[in-house]
Structure 1
Amino acid sequence: MSAPFILVLYYSRNGTTAEMARQVGRGVEQVGGIAARLRTVPAISANCEKTEDEIPGEGPLYCELDDLRDCAGLVLGSPTRFGNMAAPLKYFIDQTSGLWMSGAMIDKPAAVFTSTSSLHGGQESTLLSMMLPLLHHGMLLLGLPYSEPGLAAATSGGTPYGASHWAGPQNDRPVDAAEAKLCQALGRRVAEHALRGRR
């Protein structure tokens, strides 16, 4: 039997959500006995003939349904699009009905994270939008408890619903130390709960 892993599944357009995913993965790997598997999804286009390469030119591989089926837990990340998750991530999730029908995701721990270009760009509503399909899959949602010191100290991101980041109007503001710690805390929490569920 292969070692358990937490799937960190995300879509990133400008790189900040990808950096958050890496920080979540670091948090997962701080827990012994479990690994992080980073995966992304291809962009989508209104031009139906356009397709993406099967293997991305750089960064993590594209997610496959087997990654979801086999994971011990899931951390889902997306930039904000009008207070909602980005279309490429939604498009991928919409193809998971087979996993829903089989109950493959039931009782697995899950969490969410997001990045916005404005401080009031819908961080929490985006996190909630990602939670909805996870609830339909029967997953156990985890947030960030207020016992996490960074939640009270962060000035640009971080919510009890999940890790968040403010990228700035030009999407060029890097993930700061407080935001990175919250991403790591989220990854650790999902990993710990996944291992607890396997005992």
Structure 2
Amino acid sequence: MAQQSRSERTVKPKDPPQEERSLPILPVRDTVLFPHAVLPLTVGRESSVQLINSLGEDKTIVVVAQREARVDNPQPSDLYTVGTLAVVHKVVKMPNQSLFVFAEGLERVRLTEFMQLTPFMRGRVESVPEAVPPKSSEVEALQRNVLTLFQQIVAGSPTLSDELSTVAINIEEPGRLVDFIASSLPSLSTPDKQDTLETTDVRIRLEKI
């Protein structure tokens, strides 16, 4: 049989790159916003206030945690590379000119390039897909254990509302459950929450929490 020529060989196309978008970037201190969570964010930095005030009909932003909360004027190197695509639902102006912003997390994103630094940060981001494990008795057992531990923490805490347990019980997706728990626990440090955000393998996320 004649050897197949290079032009006749079937070449498997590469997977298309994740779509990149250019969006305003909001650095936050001691806070990690998770997908599906709604958080009130206090925005007081001049650059961050300008960012929120610049939003038109498109209220989409990227919320990214700072590595060190004490940094007042964060640069790209001061931010984690994985953040959360979010939409701003409501903005309340405070007497001291700061803003109270209600933002809802949509999905994990990775910062790939900064397009501008002033008057506020703006950059390109790409979606970070999750690795969702197939349903199995082992994964279901992990999910039940995580839920039980969370219920015990809520029951023994004077500051956590019992409604958190009710919400958690009704979350069927394991990845979303871990995100909800990580977002709800004030005792979880910012680095630990960030680690949960960056863990795209849902099974590993269940084991870590």
TM bucket (normalised to shorter chain) is under 0.3
Q: Which has the higher contact order (CA 8 A, sep 6+)?
A: 1
TM-score (norm 2): 0.27
Q: Which has the larger radius of gyration?
A: 2
| Larger helix percent | 1
TM-score normalized by structure 1?
Answer: 0.28
Decide which structure has greater strand share: 2
